[in-house]
Amino acid sequence: MVKYEGKVVIALQVNGEAHEVAVRPSDLLLDVLREQLGLTAAKPGCLNGDCGACTIMLDGWPVKSCLMLAVEAEGHVVLTVEGLNGTAPIQKAFVDADAFQCGYCTSGFLMVCHALKTQNPLMPKENIIEEWLQSNLCRCTGYQEIRRAVRLMYEST
Amino acid sequence: MIPFNFIYYRPDSLQEAADIYSTLQSKGQKAVYFAGGSEIITMCRTGSIQPKAVIDIKNIPECGLLSLYNQKLQIGSVCTLNQISESKLFPLMRLACGRIADHTNQCRITLGGNLCGSIIYRETSLPLLLADAEITLYGPEGERTVPLRSVFYQCMQLKPGEMIVQVQIPVWALSARHYHIKKTANEKIDYPLVSVAAICKDSKLRLAFSGICSYPFRSEQMESALNQQTKSFEERVKQAAELLPEPVYADAEGSGEYRLFVFKNTLRQLLEDWDNGKI
Amino acid sequence: MNTAIGKSVRRKDAWDKVTGKALYTDDFPISGVLAARLLTSTCAHARILHIDISKALGIKGVKAVLTGADCPELFGPLLQDRPALARDVVRYAGEPVALVVATDKPTAERAVRLIKVDYEPLAVVLTPSQAMAEGTPLIHKQVNGYKKLLTDIYPEAGTNIASRYRMQKGNTAEAFQRCKVLVEQRFFLPPSAHLAMEVRTARAEISSDGSVLITASSQSPYSVRKQLSEAFLIPAGKIQVRVPYVGGGFGGKAPVMLEVLAFLASRSVGGKAVRLTIPREQDMASAPCRMGLEADLKVGVDENGLIQAADLTYLLDCGAYTDISPYMTKAIAMDCTGPYHIENLSCDAICVYTNHTYVTSFRGFSHESFTFCIERVLDMLASKCSLDPLEFRIRNAIRPGSLTPSQVECTASLTGDLTKCLNNIKQLAQWNGGNAVPIKENTVRAKGVACFWKTENPPTDAISGAMITFNPDGSMNLNTGVVEMGSNGQTHLAQILAEKLQVDADQVHVVTSVDTRTAPEHWKTVASLTEYMAGLAVVRAADDLLEQLRSNGSQVFGCPADEIEVANGRVFSKKNPEQFIAFKDIVQGYKSQQGESIGEPVLGRGGFMLKGLSMLDPQTGQGKTGPEWTLGAQVVEVEADLKAFSYRILNASTVIDVGKVINPESMRAMIAGGMAMGISLSSREAYIYDQDGIPRLPNLRTYKLMHIGQEPDYRVGFVETPEDNSPYGLRSFAEHGVIGIPAALGNALAAAFGRQLVILPLTPETIWRTPSEEHV
């Protein structure tokens, strides 16, 4: 059994690196990534699980890091946009498709798309793509460009 | 950011979990069982709850089961809605899970969390109520397995310190003809104005609802009304609407009158589809 | 040949934004930075009897707790009517009441929750018409006692009216007599949210010598400097404002609010660095939102289907404080009729206080609101005249020689070509007359059309500037005061510069963040004026560069400067183009093979100040507030379920006269984004207040934005009628995609359901509640 009280040091596996961080059990994964590890790609947008700007990948699935405690991530594999190293097909696809304007929601969308491809190596039907991407909000684009980016991601590999 | 701190427990067994709860309770300290955490984290952030401890039950093996066993489908309470959908074992449940929150949140929200949630819709209860599911609970007084409907009345009626271990669904329900429709104000990702789940058992429709009243329910009276083959769709729908267990729910998503309008339309559609063999 | 203009040049910020390297205000390290949090009002209108901060101060780690008593200054860009923290009275639910500074966010938030405020509720005023009624409580006791920062703000003593603008042209009373068809209609549009994905945030620190450093998510770094300087009597030069990437603004980050609070927070702790973060809930309820509007319109048409007269009253719900609302009200008056030839006009646009969250500029600067009303009326008129609504608009379209509401004479250069836009959209949207077409049982498809136009309302003396330096490889660095918040102004400015120098756009590097210490002042990144104002500054800076390059070239080649040509990154003599010097060898001055130094390093600068704008005549409204107009036409097609009252938006089209297409892909994306925003706000967005003026839980769970899957097919077409004074003839375009969409959607749905839809948002329940036309 695990019991964490006060401030504790936990081990997190983030972007292929092992990190030890001192956290309060009530600290959110989002805050720990941003404020302690300096991984600020994941953004606070609503802190309520509604906008998806803080989406990261946990064991290959998308997770909104504002609705997860950092202590829950122990023993799991966390991936953020920084861990994509600029080489994930979705990153180039987003550039080529003009799939962002202000860029604030971009990291979250990138991680959802990357997780989509991780779970569905072949392009799924449009309704599956929609279902996954409906977890995120973009206020600048009309979403058409983001759809195009998902297609480019699948076509590029 | 949660402004206060709490103690975090991650027990490995049901016994451990219940012991932690009892110990804290004896000290007058508030503890909550924690699975997907979405609702608890939100409520802690906004200040509507301030537990002294959270007991994360995701490491308890019994709570994570998702398999067919002994003519029943067992679904552990910490199975996520996404795991339940992806397992493809219970088609009606898959439809219901697919319309709760959004896909990413479905990867975190658990069956137990949805059933015990403070948000009134608790839409996973609908397929379970229709399927005569049983539920296994564990608490300081030990384990019990009972029909869900005996402990789910409007919401989960748990004893202090009790948690959901798993639900068991009889296999007939897994292959039964079924129907699920959720109507929202406008946006697909939203709370329901009306959610209707239906399952066919012995050539009769069973129906359960969420959104139309302030709690989810199955109504045998309404089922009888809607199963009257001799009457017109219109009459059956009208009668069923009169048998709602409480006045129609109203909030900013939809007024009572409008919800009722949507509810009747939805039932009419359901009956037509049923009649046309689309269920 | 164009080297950069007209090309779909990739965004300069692209790779920063897909790798997480683009830093926004709250992405900078926080070690050593204190945290500030706000306590906001739980009442919409109340007297503050007592604030008990003792418990909050008692928490370990709390450094300061501020209330209204700590800040007597009042703020506002036009009328100084707003305290930083409420003093004595709160005027909207969500108004900042206290500010806690502590070692970290959790501590600050815990302290906030321990502050106790005693309120004595006052009567609330929740609609503009209620605010205008006789005997209504006054939200500001002495509205005419506040300091005015510009002369054309007209608060009316003893009322809830913050300002009023009139347009009088021709003789409406006489003209209405001639009309064969009249429509009189009232409209109601609720306030809504900007909802930039990045919540507003600010940081502040003060050096021991009194220098102030503000980092903020702002569209107006220079206004932050100005307002802090004026309010706290700090020389402007001692204030440095930095704006990194901004995660969406849409007008909502033009006001100065959190910057002042962050400054107060830092000042209260001896100048230590403080970050003020607010949750989404406060971003929606406490920071300013989009305006609400009530309108009463009367428009008449003669037997030829020509509009003869319009009598228009618009009441803008500015909420508890004015911010920029008086100018949004003025903007309504300026363009109140839509882009139509109407000779007889009477318009009253009134800015009214209510106990709602105060409002500020929103994409479209009020045009998306009043356009809904006027364009719905146009459809009602067309229908009564049995005319195709699109043909009806062509018949009445504004044209060279027409007078705008403020009696500016239209020319092709000034306003563009609406008839061409309307004709082009027929094809783009496959216009078929605007009648509903049955698809299957209970299902129809219908299209709605709407036109828009917009001029700007900056201060008459707004300025911009550009500075250019060269790198040793001959590429350039472009530095302006333009904020990068998504609208891609930096890339477009780089294109303008590249074109002037006849080089590829990748030879221009941009400074994506703004620092008021190093970037020349650009009024604000608002009003879609980046490419116009900063563009003209860039053109001048480029001319400056060219002159210096020619001077260096003439010295190297030993010929007059006017024989020197600059193109393709080379300097050469027209007489002998084969012999050239590459930029890299001449931009830092030239060194001959013998080591002789020739010429000077090349540094470009250009400034631009708007000219020829005027205040409006208080009686007739005559005057000109913006340098140009942009207009266009939009169509929305819906598929409607007549039984369920639900609908799907199939496609949305815009044909806009942008003067010159400088970046086709970027401009298309910006217009499509505007359409998306228009669809979202008109189909689902509204602040819902209860009877006590408390907004329903303001978060993204209940306040729905459009998600993927609901978006239509966007179609964008361009018309190019050049504007004579702008860079390459371009017009402003960044906001405009939003403006006519609510109206086009309303018109499509009215056609589909046969109901006179006059309120927003157009939810299925709204449509279901609207009586069908047979019953009207």
Check pLDDT > 80 for residue C773. no
DSSP A49-117: SSS-TTEEEETTEEEEGGGSBGGGGTTSEEE-GGGGTTTSHHHHHHHHTT--SS-TTHHHHHHHHHHHH
The answer to whether A48 contacts chain B (CB < 8 Å) is: yes
User: Which chains does A contact via 3+ CB–CB distances below 8 A?
Assistant: B, C
B112 and B80 in a common domain? yes
Residues from chain B contacting residue C642 (CB–CB below 8 Å): none
Rounded mean pLDDT of B217-242? 97
Instruction: Calculate the CA C441 to chain-centre distance.
Output: 43
State residue C774's pLDDT score. 53
Nearest-CA distance from A75 to chain C in Å?
Answer: 25
Q: Where are the domains of chain A?
A: 8-82, 84-155
Q: Where are the domains of chain C?
A: 14-20+462-609, 32-124+197-248+253-285, 292-397+404-458+613-775
| B7, B103, B182: best to mutate for the A interface, most A CBs within 10 A | B103
Tell if the CB–CB gap between B6 and A136 is shorter than 8 Å: no
Residue B1 lies in a domain: no
Tell if the CB–CB gap between B104 and A62 is shorter than 8 Å: yes
Tell if the CB–CB gap between B252 and C768 is shorter than 8 Å: no
| C19, C34, C490, C699: best to mutate for the A interface, most A CBs within 10 A | C19
Q: Could you say which of A46, A91, A137 has the minimum Cβ distance to residue C707?
A: A137
pLDDT, one tens digit per residue, over C698-756 is 899 999 999 999 999 999 999 999 999 999 999 999 999 999 999 999 999 999 999 99
Indicate which CATH number applies to the domain containing B18: 3.30.43.10
Residues from chain C contacting residue B45 (CB–CB below 8 Å): 279
pLDDT, one tens digit per residue, over C624-661 is 999 999 999 999 999 999 999 999 999 999 999 999 99
Q: Which of B136, B154, B170 is the last residue of a domain?
A: B170
- Counting Cα atoms < 13 Å in the Cβ hemisphere of C295 gives 36
In this chain, the answer to whether the domains covering A8-82 and A84-155 adopt an identical fold is: no
The answer to whether B11 contacts chain A (CB < 8 Å) is: yes
Helix axis angle for A126-133 and A144-155, nearest 10°, is: 120
| Rg (chain C; Cα; Å) | 27
pLDDT, one tens digit per residue, over A10-28 is 999 999 999 999 999 999 9
- pLDDT-based confidence at residue C44 (cuts at 50, 70, 90): very high
- CA gap C127, C137 in Å, rounded: 12
Per DSSP, helices labelled H in chain B are 14-26, 38-46, 81-87, 91-97, 103-106, 111-116, 125-130, 148-151, 171-174, 220-226, 233-242, 256-275
Indicate which CATH number applies to the domain containing B209: 3.30.390.50
Nearest-CA distance from B71 to chain A in Å?
Answer: 30
Q: Which sign does the torsion angle of CA B69, B73, B79, B83 carry?
A: positive
Residues from chain A contacting residue B44 (CB–CB below 8 Å): 26
Burial class from Cβ neighbours inside 10 Å (0-12, 13-18, 19+) for residue C123 reads exposed
Tell if the CB–CB gap between A67 and B4 is shorter than 8 Å: no
Nearest-CA distance from B5 to chain C in Å?
Answer: 9
Residue B236 lies in a domain: yes
The answer to whether B1 contacts chain A (CB < 8 Å) is: yes
pLDDT, one tens digit per residue, over A100-129 is 999 999 999 999 999 999 999 999 999 999
Tell if the CB–CB gap between B1 and C106 is shorter than 8 Å: yes
Residues from chain B contacting residue C706 (CB–CB below 8 Å): 187
Nearest CA in chain B to C113: B47
B88 and B14 in a common domain? no
| Domain boundaries C14-20+462-609, corresponding CATH code | 3.30.365.10
Per DSSP, helices labelled H in C6-99 are 14-18, 54-57
Check pLDDT > 50 for residue C776. no
Tell if the CB–CB gap between B105 and A64 is shorter than 8 Å: yes
Q: Of the candidates C126, C49, C264, which has an alpha carbon nearest to the alpha carbon of residue C694?
A: C126
User: Which chains does C contact via 3+ CB–CB distances below 8 A?
Assistant: A, B
Mean pLDDT of chain C: 97
Read off the tokens for A137. Answer: 């909000």
| C197, C245, C250, C714: best to mutate for the A interface, most A CBs within 10 A | C197
Q: Could you say which of A95, A102, A134 has the minimum Cβ distance to residue C197?
A: A102
Tell if the CB–CB gap between A64 and B7 is shorter than 8 Å: no
Residues from chain B contacting residue C698 (CB–CB below 8 Å): none
CB A48 within 8 A of CB C701: yes
Buried b / exposed e along C265-296 (16+ C-beta atoms within 10 A) = bbbbbebbbbbbbbbbbbbbbbbbbbbbbbbb
Tell if the CB–CB gap between A38 and C18 is shorter than 8 Å: no
Beta bridge partners of C307: C301
Residue B248 lies in a domain: yes
Task: Count other Cβ atoms within 10 Å, centred on residue C96.
Answer: 26
Pairing of strands A55-58, A61-64: antiparallel
Tell if the CB–CB gap between C197 and A43 is shorter than 8 Å: yes
Domain C32-124+197-248+253-285 has CATH 3.90.1170.50: yes
Place of tokens 């929606």: C284
The answer to whether A65 contacts chain C (CB < 8 Å) is: no
B195 and B149 in a common domain? no
CB C348 within 8 A of CB C312: yes
Tell if the CB–CB gap between C486 and A140 is shorter than 8 Å: yes
Q: Which domain holds residue B241?
A: 178-275
B149 and B240 in a common domain? no
Tell if the CB–CB gap between A135 and B54 is shorter than 8 Å: no
- Counting Cα atoms < 13 Å in the Cβ hemisphere of B235 gives 7
Beta bridge partners of C647: C640
Question: What total number of domains does chain B contain?
Answer: 3
The answer to whether A156 contacts chain B (CB < 8 Å) is: no
pLDDT, one tens digit per residue, over C579-625 is 999 999 999 999 999 999 999 999 999 999 999 999 999 999 999 99
State residue A157's pLDDT score. 72
pLDDT, one tens digit per residue, over A71-98 is 999 999 999 999 999 999 999 999 999 9
- CA gap C569, C12 in Å, rounded: 20
Tell if the CB–CB gap between B7 and A49 is shorter than 8 Å: no
Q: Could you say which of C18, C246, C672 has the minimum Cβ distance to residue A142?
A: C672
The answer to whether A25 contacts chain B (CB < 8 Å) is: yes
Class of domain A8-82: alpha beta
Q: Could you say which of C109, C764, C765 has the minimum Cβ distance to residue B1?
A: C109
B141 and B51 in a common domain? no
CB C354 within 8 A of CB C319: yes
B260 and B162 in a common domain? no
Tell if the CB–CB gap between C707 and B187 is shorter than 8 Å: yes
Rounded mean pLDDT of C97-117? 98
The percentage of chain B sitting over the pLDDT mark of 90, rounded to a whole number, equals 97
Sequence-distant (6+) residues with CB within 8 A of C219 are C246, C249, C251, C253, C254, C483, C485, C524, C525, C526
Place of tokens 């979990």: B17
Q: Could you say which of C105, C688, C705 has the minimum Cβ distance to residue B252?
A: C688
Beta bridge partners of B73: B68, B169
Check pLDDT > 80 for residue A61. yes
Nearest-CA distance from C706 to chain B in Å?
Answer: 7
State residue B278's pLDDT score. 85
CB B185 within 8 A of CB C765: yes
Residue B127 lies in a domain: yes
Beta bridge partners of B212: none
Between the alpha carbon of residue C187 and those of residues A37, C333, C357, C757, the distances in Å are 52, 16, 21, 9
- pLDDT-based confidence at residue C697 (cuts at 50, 70, 90): confident
User: Which chains does B contact via 3+ CB–CB distances below 8 A?
Assistant: A, C
In this chain, the answer to whether the domains covering C14-20+462-609 and C32-124+197-248+253-285 adopt an identical fold is: no
Sequence-distant (6+) residues with CB within 8 A of B60 are B11, B12, B13, B14, B17, B78, B165
Tell if the CB–CB gap between C707 and B189 is shorter than 8 Å: yes
- CA gap C175, C170 in Å, rounded: 8
| Domain boundaries A84-155, corresponding CATH code | 1.10.150.120
Residues from chain C contacting residue A106 (CB–CB below 8 Å): 17-18
E-assigned strand segments in C199-343: 201-206, 212-216, 239-243, 274-277, 292-301, 307-319
Task: Count other Cβ atoms within 10 Å, centred on residue B58.
Answer: 18
pLDDT, one tens digit per residue, over C327-366 is 999 999 999 999 999 999 999 999 999 999 999 999 999 9
Q: Of the candidates B174, B38, B204, which has an alpha carbon nearest to the alpha carbon of residue B95?
A: B174
CATH of C292-397+404-458+613-775, picked from 3.30.365.10, 3.20.10.10, 3.40.50.880, 3.20.20.450, is 3.30.365.10
Nearest CA in chain C to A49: C701
- pLDDT-based confidence at residue C775 (cuts at 50, 70, 90): very low
Q: Which sign does the torsion angle of CA C241, C245, C248, C250 carry?
A: positive
Residues from chain C contacting residue B258 (CB–CB below 8 Å): 765, 768-769
Indicate which CATH number applies to the domain containing B65: 3.30.465.10
Nearest-CA distance from A95 to chain C in Å?
Answer: 6
Residues from chain A contacting residue B83 (CB–CB below 8 Å): none
DSSP character at residue C291: P
Residue B133 lies in a domain: yes
User: Which residues from B are below 8 Å from C when comparing CB atoms?
Assistant: 1-5, 45-47, 185-190, 252-255, 258, 261-262, 265
CB C127 within 8 A of CB C318: no
Tell if the CB–CB gap between C246 and A102 is shorter than 8 Å: yes
- CA gap C223, C217 in Å, rounded: 13
Nearest-CA distance from B18 to chain A in Å?
Answer: 13
